[in-house]
Amino acid sequence: MERSGNHCEMRIKRFAYWFTGLAIVVIIWKLCLIESSVDNLQSIRKILDFHKDQLELTQQQLVFLENLAKKKSAGGLPTIYAVTPTYWRHVQKAELTRISQTLRLVPNVHWIVVEDSETKTDLVRNLIAESGLVVTHLHAKTPPFEQLKDKDPRWKRHRGVEQRNAALKWLRSNLQVNKNNGIVYFMDDDNTYNVKVFEEMAKVKKVGVWPVGLVGGLNAETPILDEKSGKVKGYKSGWKADRPFAIDMAGFAINLDLILKSEASFSYKMEKGYQESEFLSYFIKKEELEPLADNCTKVYVWHTRTEKPVVNGVVPGLEV
């Protein structure tokens, strides 16, 4: 009796060993499967990321073709290369929505959006895809030592230097002198633009200038014209009006060929508030500036600034 009891116990034990062994094998096999599907998913993700850029390009080529047709009907206007540096903060999407929708009203614009980031972000990518505009999407990160800190006053650092230079580099490597009839305009993401400013800049031969509202400590900053010659003889500005060119970034546009023929760029070494003045000095003398906007009597662009909102929480799943 005892013998057969032992025998039975051994059989159960053996069965238990077999069963455990089998279960372990099955578990390991399943884990391997899961691991390989995670690997697969990761490589699919990499491929998708890669195709995102290609998709963006293809989509842009389509928009470009569509716009080519529109441009013909726009009567051979020069292409306006509008350069917009932009960086992430809670108001970024709102700012870019506002200016991209203004640009929808401009038939001859090629928008160059340069993100201040390590890589292009989906937020900007999607906004561009929805905009229906001809866009070149770039990124160039401001080096950490030049980055504006949260508590720094804005004037403490140069802003948009890296990004505008990246756009200049793109223009110089992708366009040719005397081939592309174009105008370059530095269009910050937070200003307010009347579409008329784009109509004005289509008249630019070398460098066109006009007043800018809400800047330089006055209701508007403007070139002062000589009554007799109609040429620029000075500037009205509440801040260093004696700068060689006391003009805000939004107050001038330059012929593309001049940009392509030069190596002019922006620099962190420039004195604060002198980016525009030093940049323009590469190209032109004050007397050669072309006053636009009804001899500088109209304001078609405002240097508005968006208040930083108080954001104490983030609603999940809502991109704002």
Active site residues: 276
Give the max Cα distance, the chain: 129
Q: Considering beta carbons, is residue 67 or 235 the nearer one to ligand UDP?
A: 235
Distance, in Å, from the CA atom of 222 to the CA atom of 196, rounded to the nearest integer, reads: 17
Binding site as annotated, residues for Mn(2+): 190
Residue 148 touches which member of Mn ion, ligand UDP, none, C-beta under 5-8 Å by kind: ligand UDP
Which position's Cβ is nearest Mn ion? 190
Binding site as annotated, residues: 85-87, 116, 159, 164, 188-190, 303-305
Sequence-distant (6+) residues with CB within 8 A of 210 are: 197, 200, 222, 223, 251, 252, 291, 292, 293, 296, 298, 300, 301
Residue 160 touches which member of Mn ion, ligand UDP, none, C-beta under 5-8 Å by kind: ligand UDP
Q: What minimum distance in Å lies between the beta carbon of 237 and ligand UDP? A: 14
Q: What minimum distance in Å lies between the beta carbon of 258 and ligand UDP? A: 22
**Which stretches of the chain bind ligand UDP, using CB under 6 A?**
84-87, 116, 142, 148, 154, 159-160, 163, 188-190
What distances in angstroms separate CA 115 from CA 80, 122, 191, 247, one per listed residue? Answer: 19, 11, 17, 24
Residue 189 touches which member of Mn ion, ligand UDP, none, C-beta under 5-8 Å by kind: ligand UDP
**Which stretches of the chain bind Mn ion, using CB under 5 A?**
188, 190
Q: Considering beta carbons, is residue 187 or 256 the nearer one to Mn ion?
A: 187
Distance, in Å, from the CA atom of 203 to the CA atom of 230, rounded to the nearest integer, reads: 16
Q: What minimum distance in Å lies between the beta carbon of 271 and Mn ion? A: 19
Residue 278 touches which member of Mn ion, ligand UDP, none, C-beta under 5-8 Å by kind: none
- DSSP letter string, 51-80: HHHHHHHHHHHHHHHHHHHHHHHTTSPPEE
Are 259 and 231 within 8 A, CB to CB?
no
Q: Considering beta carbons, is residue 190 or 199 the nearer one to Mn ion?
A: 190
In the block, residue with structure tokens 């614009």: 109
Binding site as annotated, residues for UDP-alpha-D-glucuronate: 85-87, 116, 159, 164, 188-190, 303-305
In the block, residue with structure tokens 């922006």: 266
Q: Rounded to the nearest 5 degrees, what angle is found at the Cα of 140, between the Cα atoms of 179 and 183?
A: 25
Q: Considering beta carbons, is residue 160 or 208 the nearer one to ligand UDP?
A: 160
Q: What minimum distance in Å lies between the beta carbon of 298 and ligand UDP? A: 21
Q: Considering beta carbons, is residue 82 or 290 the nearer one to ligand UDP?
A: 82
Residue 108 touches which member of Mn ion, ligand UDP, none, C-beta under 5-8 Å by kind: none
- Give the ranges where the chain is alpha helix by DSSP (H): 2-73, 92-103, 122-131, 161-174, 196-201, 256-261, 275-281, 293-296
Q: What minimum distance in Å lies between the beta carbon of 113 and Mn ion? A: 15
Helix (H/G/I), strand (E/B), else coil: 119: coil
Distance, in Å, from the CA atom of 217 to the CA atom of 71, rounded to the nearest integer, reads: 39
Which position's Cβ is nearest ligand UDP? 160
